Amino acid sequence: MKFFEAALKHRQITLLLTLIFIFAGIHSLLHMPRREDPKMTIRQGLVIMLYPGATALEMEEQVTKKVENLLFRYEEVKKDETESTIKDGKMIVQVELQEWLTNKDKFWSKARHDLIELKSELPPGVIGPIINSDFGDTIALLIAVSSPRHSYTELKDFVEIIEDELRPLPEVSKIKRYGMQQEQIYVTTDSSKLAQYGVTQGQVARALQSMNTITYAGEIKSHVAEIPIHISHLYGSVDQIRNQIIDISSGGQVVRLRDVAQIKRRYAEPDSFIRFNGQKALMISVEMQNGFNIVEFGQKVDQRLKIAEERIPSDVTVRKTIDQPQVVDRDINHFMEEFGIAIAAVILVTVLLMPLRVAVVAALAIPVTIVITFGFLDFFEINLQQMTLAGLIVVLGMVVDNAIVIVDDYVERLDQGSDTWKAAVRSVAELFVPVFSATLAIIFAFIPLNLILTGNTQEFLHTLPIAVLVALLVSMAVAVFLIPLLCHVFIKTGLHSKQKSKKRLSFLDRVQKGYDVILAGAFKRPIFTILLGILSVAGTMLVAKNIPVRMFPHTERDQFCLEIYMDKGTRLEATDRAVRKIEGLLAKDDRINDVTSFIGTASPRFYLTYAPQFPDINYAQILINTRTAQDTNALVKEMVVGLHDFLPNGEILVKQLAQGPPVDAPIEVRVTGDDLNAIRHIGADIATLLRNTKGTNFIRTTFQQDYYGLRVKVDDEVANRLGFSSQDIARILGGGFKGWPVSNLWEGDNPVGILLRLDKDLRGTFDDIDNTYLTSPVTGARVALRQLATLEPEWQMGRIRRRNGVRTLTVRSETQLGRLPNDVLAEIMPKIATMELPKGVTISYGGELEDQKTVIGQQSVSLLTSLVLIFMVLLFQFKGIRKSLIIMAGIPMSWFGGFMGLYLTGNPFSFTGFLGVISLSGLVVRNGIILVEYADKLAAADESRSLRSVAMDAGKRRMRPVFLTAMAAAMGVVPMIISGSPLWAPLGAVLAMGLVFGMALTLLVMPVLYWKVLQPRKKRDRKKARKTEILIPANH
């Protein structure tokens, strides 16, 4: 008590400290680091190995299984989520690391060393390992540099100008370049001319290699110095290559390269390229260092880009196609607007329901608390992002609760005749324990989220409980130190001091009168009142069954993607034609600002949960920037239907960015087993079932369709006699048909590759393979391939997927036609359960269902933990199980209102809706503590009073603070509902309706419970007291 009195006595110190904290908070708000979402760790990495010439099955048996066995030895690897993708000559293992792992770099260093050692056990032709441990890094900016006129080489020069401007910024982490096309020198030999001059393809290759190398040539040592010797041996131009001597005949005739081949310098045949708004483009991605304000970073980048553009021709377009600083600035500003509206709403409710001076003092706690909270969040290195702000909006109504309780008790004491000094000191002294307990209860409702949740979900929600914790502690400090001082200075009279002169009742007085009547009726029918509480709990289950579940909604963003999957074997040129056809359609829609096309590849990761696809010539991605998030939603709905069957030999996936852990599809059915034919057969049946189910679209499997291939079957007997090995034949065919990189032409630091291959007319048909000539190492004679091998067309596996070290075919489906994934799964799962599975084949489910089970399970444990902690707080304050249970009874009763809020607003039950349920637990307990604590005080003041009278008076007296705090908290989240945000509207709906309904039941049912539950105990206490009174005189 003396401590609180000192804050009043030394008001200058109290006010000075408050101002210091306020100014620190304002400074933090303006300069603290900002992000769109909390920083989450994508614990994934890629291990890539190449085995040119191997089929998918050979790659699986000889390479993939050994790599998986090695990786699965590490405890850091999460085996059940590690997947391998195997294609001809290529293996990609997507390694998922355990959630408890903090030092990823240490693990990858160890894994890289062990994989290099493993290479000695793999076939000799295996290339790798190639490890990408930065697979989860998210870019801040993606800058397009495009032009219809300039070449790629010129665009590269412009890109370097921009990179040079951006690199000195301290905020810049990594700068990468995408879409660059390398020049190449094609040496195309003519078989007839080679035969005419008696030269082989191998001689041409050896000549180009031997005459274009740097070799140590020694040095001359004199008495004075050492002089190194250098030989001029590197090619300096294409003409030097043309004039390269290949052979000299016995007659002295010189054979130059130009005599047997055509030499052309041009851009290499691409395996991928990028267009921006229909123009060829290069891309620059920029990542930001941690700990900086991304909005300020974006402003600095804009300044540097203006400087760079002054050095770049005007017909070159430099535009940001991914602009995270702008997104964060817009989202944070939008959130701050909603935050301001919420503050105004809470203040308005307080002012409307209380006299002006009283309301102003109570409402002043809101801006003071919030501003100081920003200062502490910055001190604890908590970024300003949507989860931090969401935590503050959730707690907004709560931060004024403590102040309202103190102010309400203060004016009540003034009405009872106390002077302002004593009223201020006694209010805070007597209410500190219940206020502290109520604050602790709400904190304990949120803290388990950080203790129980794991992985990306915990990282996503991590700052919300911290924001709530800091804000509530600050609000309590403001309520017990600053608010009593303001009451003492500005509020001199109570609410009813001049009641006699008033002719008109206030709104709060009318509510009080109406409540008094209803409460009296509740006490007349106690069984009916208690039954009402029980029915509300039962009603929760009934309403909850009719609410759809969507744990992680789509994000609100003015961007979405189209992913184009062409048939296996489609050439890059055909994929490009399909993309151009789609670009033509998009160009007609004025809702679209920019279109960036990645043909044969994918964009870098620009959104945390949207993982880039692996490059493939039959794949393309189109990144679309729209005018608004509303346009995105409209376009997605139109294109899901409009682009169906748009391509005759391909499919288009309309991909909208989503919250939550990354999933490849909302519905995933996994078929696992060793028998490829069996799992493919079951997978086909499930795919057919999904196609016949309403609401599904873009159904596909992770095993690509088989493709047409060609096998060269070598006659070992003939080949060995002529001195050929299978490796020799493969090398000759590969060099002739695909091309053989034999050397480089160096231009400064830029290498231009030299590729040797056969003429186009000699590498287009099966007959060309049969008629390929090889020179026998034994006889020196030229032998056609058909003399020592036969060609056999055959179907090859397109792709094999493995999960947890076992072959796993996953059937995936989108649900973009009006049904939620859970509804579709509820329909198909019973049908799948009736399928007869071959021996060794099992079925499991992934996608959103898997994540839901994990998240709901963890959140349920978190909720139970919160309830246990809250119960312990109540036991600590009230020293009795019965009173604690009376207060706890308000929690399940409030849930009916929460679920009804979801039902009435049409929102699904999401993970933020679950947060609302957890929040309700603490808020309802706060109201119960205020009511029961006052009832105990009345009972202790007059032990002769009946519990019925005590409970009724406690309800009447505490109606005002309970009503005010509940309405203030409910109004604080109304902007969330109005915004219609798929992420935050469910939270607002649960809190607003749950608080109002919970308040009503707390004020009606809880006083009756207090009376009925504690009455038997009081009767026993009175009987014991009477017996004691009888025994004591008898003993005397």
For 469-514, the three-class secondary structure string (H helix, E strand, C coil) is HHHHHHHHHHHHHHHHHHHHHHCCCCCCCCHHHCCCCCHHHHHHHH
Q: What is the largest CA-CA distance in the chain?
A: 148
**How is residue 776 written in tokens?**
């026998």
pLDDT, position 855? 82
State the DSSP H helix or E strand holding residue 267, giving kind and residue range, or none if neither.
strand 261-267
Residue with tokens 């794949």: 619
- The radius of gyration of the chain from alpha carbons, rounded to an integer in Å, stands at 38
Task: Tell me if 277 sits within 8 A of 266, measured CB to CB.
Answer: no
* DSSP 3-state of 774: strand
Angle at 688 between CA 686 and CA 693, to 5 degrees: 95
Residue 731 confidence (pLDDT) above 80: no
Count the Cβ atoms, other than its own, within 10 Å of residue 465.
23
User: In which region does residue 673 sit, left (phi positive, over 0), alpha (psi from -120 to 50) or beta (all else)?
Assistant: left
Distances (CA, A) of 991 to 258, 923, 968: 81, 9, 11
pLDDT, position 76? 92
Given the DSSP bridges, would you call strands 592-599 and 800-803 parallel, antiparallel or unpaired? Answer: unpaired
Higher pLDDT, 447 or 508: 447
pLDDT, position 1028? 57
Residue 789 confidence (pLDDT) above 80: yes
What's the mean pLDDT in 562-575?
91
Proportion of the chain above pLDDT 90, given as a percent: 36
CA 789 to chain centre: 54
Residue 821 confidence (pLDDT) above 50: yes
Residue 1023 confidence (pLDDT) above 70: no
Most confident of 47-51, 136-140, 496-500, 751-755: 47-51
Residue 501 confidence (pLDDT) above 50: no
Residue 578 confidence (pLDDT) above 90: yes
**How is residue 359 written in tokens?**
């309301």
Band the pLDDT of 826: cuts 50, 70, 90.
very high
What's the mean pLDDT in 703-727?
79
Residue 400 confidence (pLDDT) above 80: no
Higher pLDDT, 432 or 506: 432
Distance in Å from the first CA to the final CA of the chain = 43
pLDDT tens column, 845-894: 998 888 888 888 888 898 899 999 999 989 988 888 989 999 999 899 99
Residue 355 confidence (pLDDT) above 80: no
pLDDT, position 1019? 58
- 251, burial (CB in 10 Å: exposed 0-12, middle 13-18, buried 19+): exposed
The full DSSP string for 84-151 is: EEEETTEEEEEEEBPTT---HHHHHHHHHHHHHHHGGGS-TT-EEEEEETTTT---SEEEEEE-SSS-
What is the set of domains in the chain, with CATH numbers? 44-132 (3.30.70.1430), 183-216+231-267+707-796 (3.30.2090.10), 354-493 (1.20.1640.10), 521-552+854-1027 (1.20.1640.10), 554-658 (3.30.70.1430)
State the DSSP H helix or E strand holding residue 563, giving kind and residue range, or none if neither.
strand 559-566
Residue 107 confidence (pLDDT) above 50: yes
96 φ, ψ (degrees, to nearest 5): -100, 130
pLDDT, position 497? 54
Band the pLDDT of 381: cuts 50, 70, 90.
confident
Angstrom distance (rounded) from CA 915 to CA 904: 18
- 2, burial (CB in 10 Å: exposed 0-12, middle 13-18, buried 19+): exposed
- Reported as half-sphere exposure (CB side, CA atoms, 13 A), residue 453 has a value of 28
CA 197 to chain centre: 64
pLDDT, position 1030? 55
Residue 201 confidence (pLDDT) above 90: no
Higher pLDDT, 592 or 710: 592
Residue 795 confidence (pLDDT) above 90: no
Count the Cβ atoms, other than its own, within 10 Å of residue 572.
20
pLDDT, position 105? 85
CA 966 to chain centre: 33
What's the mean pLDDT in 327-354?
77
pLDDT tens column, 464-487: 899 999 999 999 999 889 988 888
pLDDT, position 339? 74
What's the mean pLDDT in 114-140?
88
Give the chain's mean pLDDT: 86
pLDDT, position 490? 86
Residue 1033 confidence (pLDDT) above 70: no
pLDDT tens column, 148-199: 889 998 999 999 999 999 999 999 999 999 999 888 999 888 877 877 888 8
715: nearest Cα among 814, 782, 792, 633: 792
State the DSSP H helix or E strand holding residue 708, giving kind and residue range, or none if neither.
strand 707-714
Residue 455 confidence (pLDDT) above 80: no
Count the Cβ atoms, other than its own, within 10 Å of residue 946.
12
State the DSSP H helix or E strand holding residue 203, giving kind and residue range, or none if neither.
helix 201-210
Distances (CA, A) of 832 to 37, 664, 808, 836, 843: 38, 21, 17, 9, 9
